[in-house]
Structures are given as C-alpha cells and as structure tokens.
A and B are shown apart, each in its own frame.
Chain A
Amino acid sequence: MNKIVSKEYLSERVVRFEVEAPLIARSRKAGHFVIVRVGKKGERVPYTIASADTKKGTITLVVQRVGKSSEKLCILEPGEYITDMVGPLGKATHIENFGTVVCAGGGVGVAPMLPIIEAMKNAGNRVISVLAARTKELIILEDQVREYSDEVVIMTDDGSYGEKGLITDGVEKVINSEKVDLCVTIGPAIMMKFVSKLTEKYNVPTVASLNTIMVDGTGMCGACRVTVDGKTKFVCIDGPEFDAHKVDFDEMLMRLKAYN
C-alpha cells in the first residue's frame, strides 16, 4: 500500500501524483518505471517514474487518463492508497556526455522524458527539448522542462501554442540547424515511429522508450515482447529504451491493439 501525498491536474486528462515509496525513491534512476495496481480486482499497469524525492521518500507519476485502469488511478485523492506498487523496473537510461541531445516528447511522454532531460543536462550535454501536443492545453510540464533544457521547441497540431506542426517538423528543424548527436523520443508509438523514420534519414542515433502492454514487468510473461533488429526482446527487462531505428514499430502498434 502506497499513500498518495499530493495530486495536481496538469491538463484535463493528465494527473501528477506524488506517492510514498521510500525504497523505490532511493533506488530508481532516469528511465525506470513502476507497476501499480488499484483495488483487489485491478490490473497491473506500468507508469514511468517522473521524479523522486529521496528525503521525503516519494516518487512522482504523471498519468494520462485513457481507459479503465488509468481512470481508477486518476480518481484517487491525497491520503488514499495505491493497492500495490512495485519497482523500479526496466533498465535505466544510458546517460553520458554525447554532445547535443534532442529530447522529443509527445503528449504525456513529456513526463517520462523529464528525468532523462535532467540527467542528460547534468552529464554536460546541450539539451534541446521538443515538446508536442494536439493543442495548447495538452502541453504539460513546460516549466520543468525549461529548467534543464538549453532550448525548448514547442509544436502544436493546431498552432494554438508554439509553432504549428508535428513533432517531426520540430525535430527536423533542429537537425537542420545544428549537429545533433543523439535523439531520445517518448510518446505514442505512432509518433515515435515517425520520429525514428526522420532521424534515420539524417543518421542521428535515436533511442525510443516503448510503452507496450505488460503484466508482471519482471520478464516472466512475455506480454511486452517487441522485435528489435529481427530478435524478440522483452520491453520490461531488455528495455524500455531501444535503438529506435531497429524497432519494428508496425508490429508494436499492432500488438498494442490486442485488447481493444
């Protein structure tokens, strides 16, 4: 049982929770995630650890309400408990001084991107963050992203904020204006697929954080499997981050629809 300490709406459908989890707070690194379960009949669902406070013993999750399980979580209030939470899971992001790193986050993907932006900056990289969403209200965590980024590019589909266009337009502009050593992308699978296609064209090494369906999150079931470089990998233990240019995004997109 993990107690919810605070709750804040980042947009109409996106909630930020601070949750008591002292052991996880202490051992987690950028890129790690947890699996949570709400209620005795609840399912196990993964969420990235957006940040942690080791002194308070809390971690932060940013959750987008998309269906039954995220909804059950989003209606919880401070003082209430998450039934089960386990982590930190997955491999931590590979952080080093690459030079210039573009962090391309779409929608709620900005939340899991945040700890990576911070760690990349602290490792001495020049960090350019490209945030994208359908419309202005869905751009989340902009201030936090600005704190650790050398530059921030904002893209909206409808042009209501930042520049009008897709995330790929933003990334392409950066690549055309300076040498980019690495691109990290997190967001809906379809978005990551197109970012990956783009950076492949420009030969920019790219890492994508995959959000497949999971059950245990510890390598036990294989529900999370994806094809990377022609081989089957388990996202929960071999990932969640992979060389985007080698990921079979079409298969992943197909598998995400398994229960829809």
Chain B
Amino acid sequence: MNEYLKAERSVAWREELRKSMKNKDRTAIPRVVMPEVDPFVRSHNYDEVNLGLTEEMAVNESHRCLDCVDPTCISGCPVEINIPKFIKNIERGEYLEAAKTLKETSALPAVCGRVCPQERQCENSCFYTQKLNKVPVAIGHLERFAADYERNSGNISVPEIAPSNGKKIAVIGSGPAGLAFAGDMVKLGYDVTVFEALHELGGVLRYGIPEFRLPNDIVDVEIDGLRKMGVKFETNCIVGKTISQEDLKEAGFKGIFVGSGAGLPNFMNIPGENLIGIMSCNEYLTRVNLMGAGDPESDTPVYKGKKVAVIGGGNTAMDAVRTARRLGAERAVIVYRRSEAEMPARIEEIKHAKEEGIEFYTLHNPLRYEGDERGRVQKMLLQRMELGEPDQSGRRRPVAIEGATDWMEVDEVIVSVGVSPNPLIPQSFTGLEITSWGTIVVNNDTMQTADDFIFAGGDIVRGGATVILAMGDGRRAAKSMHEHLNK
C-alpha cells in the first residue's frame, strides 16, 4: 500500500471510527437495498429508476466498510478512488468531505456512481467479495449518495484554478473523456475550448444513456461546473469538417485532445436489415434521448413498436429495450446469441429489465427479416444456438444448432451489436497512427499519439469501454500533456 494511503488511514478520526465498532458487527449488517420506483410505474415514464440512498441508509452501509489495511477495492477502480476514505467520511457524517475525496480522482462522481459496472470493478475487489464470500460494500451507491448530497446542498466545491498561463488547448468531443481532460487542464491554468459535433454536450452521457438511468440534469451540473471554471464550449462544430487540423494550429492551439468516441453503429448485414422499422441502437436512442422524440411536442419522429426485439446483450441493448417498453411496447424482447452469463450489460440493468417485463431470448441469433408490401418489418427468423468452446475473450462461443430455427413476429427491431470508432478524426487528421479497427494508437501511459501535440483517450482509443475508463484516460492525458508542454 502506498505511503499516501497509509498516512490517510492513520489520521486520528479514522483510527477512532475503526475502533467504534467491532468488525464482526460490521460484517453482520446486511447490504443496503437501493430504493427503486415500482416496475409497473417506471416502465410507463422516464423518471430515474434508482431513487438514491437516504442519509440513514448511507451511514448504515458505510459501517459495513472495514477500512481495510490493504483496501483491495481501490485497485479495482480504474481511477483508484480512495474508497475507504470517502466511505469513512460518510460514516462520520462529513458528506461534503466524502464528495471532495471523490473529486480528488474522479471528474464525474455523480455519473460514475450511477453507471459504473461496479460489480466488475471496485465491488468485485472488495474484501467482502474476495475473502468473506459476502456481498460487497455498496461502493457505487455510496458514491452516488455523496455526489448527490453535494449537488443538492448547493455547496459544490469549486476546485482551485491555477493562474492563467495563456496556452490554448483544443478538446475534440464532449463525452466523459473530453470533459475529464478539460476539467484537469483548466485547473492547471490552460485556456480550454471543447468542440462538439452535436448541438448538445455530453457525448454518450447525453445521446446514449437514457434519462431513467442518468438524468440530463446531472450531466448539466457537471458541464456548468466546467463552464464556471472557464472551459469554453463550441457546439455544432465538427473538427475535420467545420474546422481543420491546420485551422487549430493556426488559431494558436498548443495541444489537442481527441475524445471523439465510438460513434459508428455496426449492423449484421443479414437479409432484410434495411426494412423500415429496423434501426441501429444509436439511431433509436439518439431520437429519444437527444431529440426528445418520446415527447409529443418534439418534431422528431420515432417508431413506437408494439412487438419490439433488441438484438444484443450490452448496456446499449438494455437501454434500448427498456426505452421501447416506456414508449409502449407490449412485448419487448432481448435477443442474444450467448447465454445470460456472458451478457456484457451491468447486472443491475439486466435485473431492472426483467422486473419491467422484458423477455430474454438468449442463445438466439437473427438470420433474416421479412416485411410487408410497404417494406415494414413483420417477422424475423431466429437461429437457435448452444455454447461451445471458449473463444479468445474467454467466453464460450455460440454455435448454431443445425436446423433449429424459429420465426418471431416483430414490428420494430433495434440492432445493438456494437459500435466502431468514429472515423471523422482518423480520416481527416494527418500524423496519427490508426489501427485496422480504426482506433487511434497512443502510448498507454501518456495517451500521446504519434503526433507529439495530439493526445487521445476514451472509446476512440479503446474501441468501446466505460465512462470511468474514458474519464481516466482524459485525466492521464491532461497530466502528460501538461508535462509535455512544460518540458
């Protein structure tokens, strides 16, 4: 364990808290259950499903954390949040201090507390999971509690900003990678401008993840905070189209961070996929989340199918199928070619989806679609699958069961089988090294690209990741760009 963590752990109040309760009593407390809106009610509106912990629940849960000598949870977090420190601050009632602790390492705690796949990260590395064979401390729920408490208190701590150094920095894309990078650079005194192609800010946080999981207000507060710190935002500006790489150089930008995400939807290229009513998950979620198509006042139309199938098993698929339910689908089905154990979606999402009446057709894969005379999708042919040998990713490979096919009636299909890196920057910039997958090559420690002045992170580098990883990349890039510019 590093010296800093050790020193933090040995401060008097923490010593005292540790002594205030026996570990046996701590481990005997049952894990808190997140209060949720009733499944029937919530599948008819867009309100956030998780209501958040009450103060009492949060403090009670914080008792469970053992403030371990070797807090393995920290290494499970991609940005290494000082987890016991923030939880113990909750335990002693210093919620604002807890929020501050989160902000030492995370740029978007209210977001990550809601959307991180905790069960695979921090909570999976918790002592409870690893050694006690018990359910882990609810780190994510507590993180959300502290961040929400701070936001609702009106006492949002504004980080210290170094005096302006006059150096202009450009950020391409306003997703979590770009926002985290911008926040760190503005703190260091840089003059930061974020360019965003769409008319709204936030990247996937805005156009992808739905309101019922991550309300837009939360994203707005984070962006307002950055604005107050001096970050400038230019929406409707596509770097590589509206302005070029040379324009940025000529305008005096001393460094560029590319956080342009993985915006290109994949299709399966099977017969009938271009029928009306079949669309990418990006199209569906963009229409609903960015364009507000669920709202009758919005000019943007969206299909409101009654028999909706969503192809895929990731977070994106869960978001789409639950959205379809909210838009009035009588039958909303997940069609996934592997089994539930292999689904990449967060466990909480799968659970919520089931509660909302979503059907799961695992070990099924579409072969083709057929439509009516107007070209509207009517049914799809499904291939039944079974699990074979594990593939490179360690997941058991789905294999078709010869001759086992079924038709399913559908009037809307949402294809959610992954995304590819956004090609705009790789195609329009010179001096970058691009992989055959279309991702930008960087030095993994510094996030620097083949061009010394250009750094990159998030999905454009990883091909598809998580909010917290994108954010961590942005922070690392800020640190090394700062070092690079001050050599």
Contact = CB atoms under 8 A, between A and B. Distances in A.
A156 to B, nearest CB: 31
A67 to B, nearest CB: 10
A85 B197 CA distance: 10
Nearest to A23: B242
Interface string B240-284: 011110000000000000000001110101000110110110110
A60 to B, nearest CB: 17
Given A86-B238, A215-B291, A218-B424, A232 B269 contact: yes
B299 A84 contact: no
Given A27-B241, A232-B274, A254 B299 contact: no
A219 B263 contact: yes
A255 interface: yes
A237 interface: yes
Contact of A68 (B236, B283, B299): B299
A37 interface: yes
A222 interface: yes
B116 interface: no
Interface stretch (A41-49, A94-102, A174-182): A41-49
Interface in B176-199: 197-199
Given A219-B423, A254-B375, 10 more contacts: A43-B300, A43-B301, A87-B242, A218-B263, A220-B286, A222-B265, A222-B280, A225-B267, A254-B374, A259-B301
A89 B274 CA distance: 23
Nearest to A248: B274
B157 interface: no
B32 to A, nearest CB: 38
> What are the 3 A-B residue pairs with the smallest beta carbon separation, nearest first?
A254-B375, A221-B283, A43-B299
B298 interface: yes
19 contacts: A27-B241, A41-B298, A86-B242, A88-B242, A89-B241, A218-B197, A218-B238, A218-B263, A221-B280, A221-B286, A222-B265, A222-B267, A222-B283, A232-B267, A232-B273, A251-B375, A255-B274, A255-B276, A258-B276
A163 interface: no
Contacts of B267: 222, 225, 232
A257 interface: yes
A24 interface: yes
Interface of B: 197-199, 235-238, 241-244, 263-265, 267, 269, 273-274, 276-277, 279-280, 282-283, 286-287, 291-292, 295, 297-301, 374-375, 422-424
Nearest to A85: B236
Interface string A72-86: 100000000001111
Given A41-B297, A86-B197, A219-B263, A225 B282 contact: no
A135 interface: no
A86 B198 CA distance: 8
Nearest to A83: B199
Given A43-B300, A221-B282, A254-B375, A216 B198 contact: yes
Given A86-B199, A259-B301, A27 B243 contact: yes
Contacts of B199: 37, 44, 83-84, 86
B242 A237 contact: no
Interface of A: 23-24, 27, 37, 39, 41-44, 68-69, 72, 83-89, 215-216, 218-223, 225-227, 232, 237, 251, 254-255, 257-259
Which applies to chain A's interface (DSSP): helix, strand, loop or mixed? mixed
B412 to A, nearest CB: 11
Contacts of B198: 86, 216
Chain A CB within 10 Å — which of B236, B422, B423 has the most? B236
Given A215-B291, A222-B279, A255 B242 contact: no
Contacts of B269: 232
B194 to A, nearest CB: 15
B458 to A, nearest CB: 15
Contacts of A223: 279, 283
Chain B CB within 10 Å — which of A218, A220, A257 has the most? A220
A232 to B, nearest CB: 6
A61 to B, nearest CB: 15
B282 A222 contact: yes
Given A27-B243, A41-B297, A219-B263, A86 B237 contact: yes
Contacts of B374: 254, 257
Contact of B276 (A89, A226, A254): A254
Nearest to B196: A86
Contacts of B276: 254-255, 257-258
